[in-house]
Amino acid sequence: MAIFNLKKREIECKVVFYGPGRGGKTTNLEYIFKSFKKQVAGEMVSINTEGDRTLFFDFLPMGLGKIRGCDVRVQLYTVPGQVKYSSTRKLVLRGVDGIIFVADSLEVRREKNMLSLKDLQSNLKEYGKSIFKLPLVLQYNKRDLADQGIPIMTTEQMAKDLNRQLKVPAFPASAVKGEGVGVTLKECVKLTLKKLQKEFQWAK
Amino acid sequence: MHIKGKIKSILQEAEIYRSQGLKAEAIQKYNAALDLISSNQQLKNKNRIQSAIKSKLNSLSGGKKTPEKNGSTPELSENVQDLIQNLFSFSENKGDDKAILEGAISLAKFGQIDRALEELNKLVKKDKVRVIAAKNVINCHLSVNSVDGAIAQYREWQASDFFPAKHLSTVRAYLEQCLKKKGIIAEIDEPADTLEPELFEDYPEDDGEDEYAENANEEVDNADEGYEDNADDGYEDDADDDDQEGEFLEIDSIGITFEEGPQKGTSVEFDVNFQSGNTLSLIIPDKEKALVESLDEGSNLNDIQFFSPIAIFKGTGVVSSRTMIKHGPKRGDICLDIKITNQ
Ligand SMILES: Nc1nc2c(ncn2[C@@H]2O[C@H](COP(=O)(O)OP(=O)(O)OP(=O)(O)O)[C@@H](O)[C@H]2O)c(=O)[nH]1
Ligand SMILES: [Mg+2]
């Protein structure tokens, strides 16, 4: 549901961080807010529960400047990952242009990753979109926990679980340390703009 | 020594899960540590460690008894409400009535009922969006269990001079229908008791009173399917609530390798038309009937490939029913139900 203003040569698109509860979506956004000062175009808004979990969404507007003569703005959102917030999660997903799926590398969260991906697929389907056609990037988050001896899955295992059919770009990351956050975002924005370019032909 | 190290590492794991808010996982690990400790007679300081773990467990399960403001959604600041109104109106022209309507409905979905009502009541004054806005005003009242509020609002419109009779009767019918759906038979002109309706279950369909309104409502319905009872949304529960999702993966299609009949040895792929738990229904068009000739009720399928959006896996199944469709557009087609027995 990108908004494209031909006259002003402006494009605004929506990228959503999706994934199981406690996987690190909000942490990703916080890191982006802190570290991409130049591109951040406003305050980060978080609507949380008392326990610091996302209740409705986090929101962060970014401006990427001119790309091929067009002013590109990207709105970043996170969904609430907890299963019980399914209706708000779906609402936040509406009109999405690109998705970053933040998977939790913890072994104990293996199934939650898969269920969340399935939830994403079915929510997209209800909006008439296919998970196979939308710009999508996976992130295997919390890699740093291996250093503390906590059982985490190998990236191969995670690729097998989540990316066997999708075959989309995937990045290991540690959102608390900021590792892998930037590349994940850049890849997703790149894919999203590429797709929009195909649709709107704005870069002619 | 060996056992001590093991306990230590389990506790460390539990501690990390706790710090990440993964309560269920933390509780499980603490319990695993307790089990290990109690099965070990020689351990020094056994009691002390046990009571330390138990107090951790208590604090973990104690936390769940604090629903936020008795389960209602928090009232957000005006700025954030403005943001929602703006971000969650999906029309291109942000200022037009349709966009305002969408924004107002989003506010309601995010539990900001007072603000939503404020916006919707402005729209009720406008001819083109009056009916749909009024219907959503009713939804708002019902979402906070206020049947009285909904009826009082209706009566206010009835008494007003800006609500044309034609619109009023549509809204009245809608209100009656909502109440009926919730099991309330109320004479709208009579006082009614407040009952507990299901909140925001959905924004029921428009009856096409006016084209613009209908379009707007369609959008709402699309966005809204599966909208859940709002009362739950304000809780910060224990992590267990992450466990409610169904156990069966959604399967899009299956590949059956035939062991008998003319197809013996070949594998054929079928789309799944419907899935209920572990039973998949396939509809085989009349002209492809020959493909499944060898499959009768009770036939075992020892080599099935299941294709889900997430993974492909192998398993077995049994044909639990085979029926010919006798009526409607699919007359003559075969409906096969396959129960997954192992995956
Ligand atoms: N060690 C480690 N912890 C992380 C990492 N990313 C997030 N966390 C922690 O995991 C917990 C949950 O992170 P959030 O960012 O709130 O997760 P979320 O996906 O937004 O969760 P919901 O809002 O409930 O959907 C927090 O305690 C974070 O500090 C990471 O890369 N490494
Ligand atoms: Mg979050």
B96 and B49 within one domain: no
Residue A202 belongs to a domain: no
d(CA B330, CA B291): 17
Residue A43 belongs to a domain: yes
DSSP SS3 for B16: helix
Tell me if the pTM is above 0.90.
no
Name which of A1, A53, A108 is nearest B90 (Cβ-Cβ).
Answer: A1
8 A C-beta contact, residue B86 and residue B125: no
B311 and B285 within one domain: yes
Instruction: Tell me B340's DSSP state.
Output: E
Q: Is B13 on the interface with A (CB under 8 A)?
A: yes
B293 and B269 within one domain: yes
B82 and B199 within one domain: yes
B44 and B14 within one domain: yes
Report the gap between the CA of B56 and the closest CA in chain A (Å): 17
Q: Angle at CA B32, nearest 5°, toward B28 and B36?
A: 170
In total, how many domains does chain A have? 1
Q: Which of B203, B229, B253 is a domain's end point?
A: B203
Q: Which of B31, B63, B95 is a domain's end point?
A: B63
pLDDT of residue B343: 64
Residue type at position B167: H
Question: Closest residue of B to A21, CA-based?
Answer: B242
Axis-axis angle for helices B130-143, B147-159 (nearest 10): 150
> Are B106 and A91 inside 8 Å of each other by CB?
yes
Report the gap between the CA of A135 and the closest CA in chain B (Å): 16
Residue A204 belongs to a domain: no
B191 and B88 within one domain: yes
Residue B114 belongs to a domain: yes
B91 and B36 within one domain: no
Burial per residue of A101-124, b for 16 or more beta-carbon CB atoms within 10 angstroms, e otherwise: bbbbbbebbbebbbbbbbbbbebb
B16 and B107 within one domain: no
Report the gap between the CA of A203 and the closest CA in chain B (Å): 21
B residues 185-224 lying closer than 8 A (beta carbon) to A: 222-223
8 A C-beta contact, residue B280 and residue B335: no
Residue A203 belongs to a domain: no
What's the CATH number where B59 sits?
Answer: 1.20.58
**What is the domain extent for residue B9?**
3-63
What's the CATH number where B109 sits?
Answer: 1.25.40
> Are A114 and B228 inside 8 Å of each other by CB?
no
Give distance in angstroms: CA of B143 to centre of ligand 1.
Answer: 32
Residue A139 belongs to a domain: yes
Residue A153 belongs to a domain: yes
> What tens digit of pLDDT does each residue of A16-50 get?
999 999 999 999 999 999 999 999 999 999 998 76
What's the CATH number where A101 sits?
Answer: 3.40.50.300
> What tens digit of pLDDT does each residue of A3-13 get?
777 777 889 99
Ligand (nearest to CA of A143): 1
> What tens digit of pLDDT does each residue of A58-112 get?
999 999 998 888 899 999 999 999 988 888 999 999 999 999 999 999 999 999 9
B92 and B177 within one domain: yes
B82 and B197 within one domain: yes
In total, how many domains does chain B have? 3
**What is the domain extent for residue A23?**
3-197
B95 and B58 within one domain: no
Residue B251 belongs to a domain: yes
Q: Which of B37, B63, B89 is a domain's end point?
A: B63
| ipTM rounded to 2 decimals | 0.91
Residue in A7, A43, A47 to test binding to B, most B beta-carbons within 10 Å: A47
> What tens digit of pLDDT does each residue of A119-135 get?
999 999 999 999 999 99
- Residues of chain A contacting B106 with CB distance shorter than 8 Å: 91
B103 and B51 within one domain: no
A46 lines ligand 1 (CB under 6 A): no
Instruction: Tell me A61's DSSP state.
Output: E
Bridge partners of residue A72, in order along the sequence: A11, A65
Contacts of B225 by beta carbon, 8 Å cutoff, 6+ apart: A126, B202
Residue B96 belongs to a domain: yes
Print pLDDT tens along chain B (343 aa).
588 888 889 999 999 999 999 999 999 999 999 999 988 877 777 888 888 899 989 988 875 544 444 456 788 999 999 999 999 988 777 778 889 999 999 999 999 999 999 999 999 999 889 999 999 999 999 888 888 899 999 999 999 889 999 999 999 999 988 888 878 777 776 443 444 443 433 333 333 333 233 333 333 333 332 222 222 222 112 223 333 323 456 677 888 888 877 778 888 888 887 766 677 888 888 888 888 888 888 888 888 887 776 566 778 888 888 887 776 667 788 888 888 887 6
